[in-house]
A and B are shown apart, each in its own frame.
Chain A
Amino acid sequence: MKEFTVRIRRFDPEKDKESHLETYTVKVNDGARVLNVLHAIHDTLDPTLSYRYSCASGQCGSCAVLVNGEPVLACMEEATDTMTVEPLNLPVKKDLITDLVPRLAGMAHLMPKDKPVVPAKEDIDAIKPLRDCIECLACVSVCPAMSVTSFLGPTAMRQELRLALDPRDNGDRISEAVRDGLFTCTSCQACWKVCPKDIEIPGKAIEKLRSFANKRGFSFPRHQEVAALVKATGRSVPRTAESFLEQVPDVIEPDGPVRATVGFFSGCMYNLRQQQSALDAMEVLRRNGIRVIVPKDQVCCGSPLIRTGQLDYVDELMKKNIDVFRSRGIDTVLTMCAGCGSTLKNDYPNDKPFTVIDINELLTKYGIEPPAKLGITATYHDPCHLLRGQGVSDQPRNLIRQVVDLVEMPAICCGSGGGVRSGNPEEAAALGKKRGDEIKKTGAEVVITSCPFCEFHIAGHTDKPVKHVVSVLLDGYREKDKKEGKK
């Protein structure tokens, strides 16, 4: 037995105007789950504590709660001392009990055909991965799109695809999905990361539905314009000024000894819209002994097309990029755009002839020359495709802490991903505004991120400068040089 002190969010609609946190100290067994702590409180200290559970073995999806802000199944998550347990971000009925029923009742159901159809094994195998859902609504609790639009939510989309793939179903699932917000998903992947059954809803359900929707002619004109541009120019952004690739040599040699050689994948945004960030990156790499090969014939990674379900041209882009790096014998491809990095790592074939590394990972791996501290506070915005798409979280923080004082804010999507900024500008603006509010709360003087889309979008919703990690490092080097009297 051991003793845990935990905080529980309590709310009784019959008595309380607002919820409050209450602290309890209870004895629990070794290996106790969160649910066992709730039982212990209810059974020995406070029988008025209300919470919902049924199977206690991760199969019914009735006990999802937030533990330290993250949705988990109370019955499966191991309890920890000092944890805070709160209800999901859904309407609260009492204490930890939320109102799941309206969301559950809104899930699509099979519409039987007049003549019964028997599915084939391949139908079953396609649907099975979508069938593990226990409707715990953890995904609904974290979906940013749902907080600002009428999106029916991640698991509702999973269900639409499950039905769309079923030969027994007579419904028009694609039209329904579009109606219910298919194109409002920013592909932030928060739903996947909290899913107790690890269902990859954005990649395996939403993008698949979007590709069906594309075939049915539901793609937004703005998305089609991007696709046309990619097809015509190999780039998802029009050329309005000298591109990054035009400004740099084919190989950038480092100042000192070569510690590593990488091929650089610039991505459309850094090549054509935010060239300065990419140039800053080259400076930082040069200073840290990284030799950079920059193939000039590289093209768009395909992400803007994959996320919006326009898959026709994607294979060609992939093949082209793979050939570009293969032909130069490059075994490590460096990205500094979170979206490109995630796409190259996760959407490109597993047998690609190179490994992909994000610039934060690279600089962490080889270590950097210490920059000078700037004496300013900054906050860091986690790009979804870096944090969740690539699992990169500590590295950028440890890098920028060498230059600024870091003030954290919650990791929530800025609203620019998944084709939402172009397709649903109002939603993107609403999410951007929420980011702006969070930034304000931190009191930071600078916003740092590691994705051109986030950089560009957040800049429209804050009066603080928004910079890439490498630009901040470069600021630190310049300050260092100034202090040391160098030019």
Chain B
Amino acid sequence: MLADEVVDCHVLVIGSGGAGVRAAIEASQYGDVVLISKIIVGKGGCTTMAEGGFNAVLREQDSCGIHYEDTLKGGSFLNDPELANILTKEAPLRMGDLVKWGAIFDFTDNDEIAQRPFGGQRFPRTCYAGDRTGHEMMMTLIDRLRYLTETQHKKGLTLLQEYTVIDLLTENGRVIGAMALDEKGRLIAITADATILATGGGTKVYDISTNSSSGTGDGYAIGYRAGAELIDMEMVQFHPTGAVYPYDARGRLITEAVRGEGGVLKNINGERFMQKYDPDRMELSTRDVVARAIATEILEGRGTPNGGVYLDVTHLSREQIETRLPMMLEQYLAFGVDIRTTPMEVAPTAHHIMGGLRITPECRTTLPGLFACGEVSGGVHGANRLGGNALAETQVFGRRAGAAAGKEPVRKKKIDDTQVQRQRDRLDRFRNGSKNPARIRSMLQQAMWDGAGIFRDATGLNTALAAAHVLADKPIRAETHRNLAECCTIENMCLTASLICRSALIREESRGAHVRKDIRQTWDAEHSPFGHTFISKTRQGIEQKGDAP
């Protein structure tokens, strides 16, 4: 055997954020599960960093239909309607699971789960745990995982922590597991009857990003290399409010809850500039609109000396700030700013990739045996995601992926030695490489920020794409076997960046988060002739309305 170690299981879950852990919990009802993760389970991914909330229809005055309409409108009608429908219908159920498993969401005086307003929604339906909602969810999911690990010995739930999946294993076009490196650089093969990609997003390909260390687009790259089709990869959400200083903290997420709680945006002249861009919804417009407004203010010279705009909560009561936004208060205090008395300075930051692997309602990708859920999948959010819909998505589609994968029949699987050998050759190339991978990474991030940011045109996108291609070909070096995983990750970043640029070139319209300055269009989002962009190893293009996918 060419791998250093082989593990077999019924369902392999790759990724340990909200979607991955939820999928593992569900799949463990059907057979033995291996949950594999680049970082310690519960600490990795972006779920634990998610601050603002979880959208779920819980009140009589609200309805799933309104949530669905808000989601489609917010997504510029590019959402897969069925997936959006499922999201809004099942979010309350999944919220119920979390509460059943011990989650401590904020409650109202009537002993109901509290909800707050978020951008682009006609009803305050964002459930929260202060401004550490994702952390609360993750702690609850990990707690549940520990419970199942201890009580479900028979079926088995194995955690492979700090293992990096580097590619999928296939057998006659069917995904039968994955290959991974452990922290020492040993090559492990894991075979599975069904494999779930729950690797999260990839906005770490940008210089300024809210993502955790794992937001490097591994799932997009791994899926693409195995032959899966991805949709709408050009749809990158720039969160309107990221930190601007100190330099090393640039891009750190300032939760939408700050605006949900009443925070206002002002330019250097003290003007509440959202009046010009969306007078009805003001600061609680959708993220694409607010991000463009802030970027425009800064580009046109009305930004602060640090290159941001002001986000001000000083008019709120100290108590409201301390109880509803404790994390923001703590983080800013650590950087010497008391947000109770001083406005924050913010600017857009790359946050979320709406596109991803094309999935069915059962989270099946275009490859047999491969499922996807959470940010790595595409279609739920269309061209712009509503704040609070991502946490809901992790739970709704995590459960669906886990159930569908769990129900896959048990099969005989045979590892193809040539695929393992190909990985060995790839790793040897890194061992014999010469270029500093960290340097390649920062060049890529800068090229993407410059060429594939909020405002785009074909020239800039082509420049960024060329850079991604050139950088992908550089012979990066793994100093020791412990650095091999890092090299694989940088390859994944280059590939993800190129998928974003290629898709952005294909979509010759402005829609949601994707703005093409070089294209004039006569339609609004609702009347666009276009559907999803799609991209795989064998084809790429854009769906016309009315086409069968």
What is the interface of chain A, defined by CB distance below 8 A to chain B? Answer: 14, 28-33, 36, 42-44, 47-48, 50, 52-62, 76, 78, 93-94, 100-101, 104-105, 107, 109-112, 116, 118-121, 124-125, 127-128, 131-132, 134-135, 166, 168-169
Evaluate whether A107 and B107 lie within 8 angstroms (CB atoms) in the complex, with A54-B39, A54-B44, A62-B39 already known: no
Q: Which residues of A contact B147 (CB under 8 A)?
A: 109-112
- Pairwise interchain contact B161-A54, C-beta atoms closer than 8 A: no
| Chain B proximity of A463: nearest CB distance (Å) | 46
- B409-440: contact bitstring with A at CB < 8 Å (1 yes, 0 no)? 00000000000000000000000000011110
- Pairwise interchain contact A47-B436, C-beta atoms closer than 8 A: yes
| Chain A proximity of B498: nearest CB distance (Å) | 23
Q: Which residues of B contact A32 (CB under 8 A)?
A: 246-248
- Pairwise interchain contact A29-B101, C-beta atoms closer than 8 A: no
- Pairwise interchain contact A101-B438, C-beta atoms closer than 8 A: no
The segment out of B377-385, B386-394, B477-485 that lies at the interface is B477-485
B43 at the interface (CB under 8 A from A): yes
B150 at the interface (CB under 8 A from A): yes
What is the interface of chain B, defined by CB distance below 8 A to chain A? Answer: 39-40, 42-46, 48-49, 99-102, 104-109, 111, 129-130, 132, 135-136, 139, 143-144, 146-147, 150, 161, 183-184, 212-214, 245-249, 252-253, 326-327, 330-331, 334-335, 436-439, 442, 479-480, 482-483
- Pairwise interchain contact A105-B246, C-beta atoms closer than 8 A: no
Once the chains are docked, how many angstroms separate the CA of A105 from the CA of B146?
7
Once the chains are docked, how many angstroms separate the CA of A121 from the CA of B214?
35
- Name the CB-closest residue of A to B330: A58
- Pairwise interchain contact A31-B40, C-beta atoms closer than 8 A: no
- Pairwise interchain contact B101-A124, C-beta atoms closer than 8 A: no
Evaluate whether A54 and B246 lie within 8 angstroms (CB atoms) in the complex, with A47-B479, A104-B40, A124-B107 already known: no
- Pairwise interchain contact A54-B104, C-beta atoms closer than 8 A: no
Once the chains are docked, how many angstroms separate the CA of A428 from the CA of B330?
37
- Pairwise interchain contact B248-A131, C-beta atoms closer than 8 A: no
- Pairwise interchain contact B213-A118, C-beta atoms closer than 8 A: no
| Chain A proximity of B471: nearest CB distance (Å) | 15
- Pairwise interchain contact B246-A31, C-beta atoms closer than 8 A: yes
- Pairwise interchain contact B44-A127, C-beta atoms closer than 8 A: no
Once the chains are docked, how many angstroms separate the CA of A32 from the CA of B326?
23
Q: Which residues of A contact B45 (CB under 8 A)?
A: 54
- Pairwise interchain contact A30-B132, C-beta atoms closer than 8 A: no
Which of A28, A29, A112, A131 has the largest count of B CB atoms less than 10 A from its CB? Answer: A131
| Chain B proximity of A134: nearest CB distance (Å) | 7
- Pairwise interchain contact B132-A36, C-beta atoms closer than 8 A: no
- Pairwise interchain contact B102-A110, C-beta atoms closer than 8 A: yes
Q: Which residues of B contact A48 (CB under 8 A)?
A: 479-480, 482-483
- Pairwise interchain contact B111-A101, C-beta atoms closer than 8 A: no
**7 more A-B contacts (CB under 8 A) besides A29-B247, A42-B438?**
A48-B482, A56-B252, A59-B135, A60-B48, A104-B40, A112-B100, A119-B107
Q: Which residues of A contact B436 (CB under 8 A)?
A: 43, 47
- Pairwise interchain contact B104-A31, C-beta atoms closer than 8 A: no
Q: Which residues of B contact A110 (CB under 8 A)?
A: 101-102, 143-144, 147
| Chain B proximity of A91: nearest CB distance (Å) | 14
Once the chains are docked, how many angstroms separate the CA of A28 from the CA of B248?
9
Which of A50, A57, A105 has the largest count of B CB atoms less than 10 A from its CB? Answer: A57
Evaluate whether A44 and B183 lie within 8 angstroms (CB atoms) in the complex, with A100-B40, A116-B100, A124-B104 already known: no
Q: Which residues of A contact B146 (CB under 8 A)?
A: 105, 107, 109
Once the chains are docked, how many angstroms separate the CA of A243 from the CA of B262?
62
Q: Which residues of B contact A54 (CB under 8 A)?
A: 39, 43-45, 48, 212-214
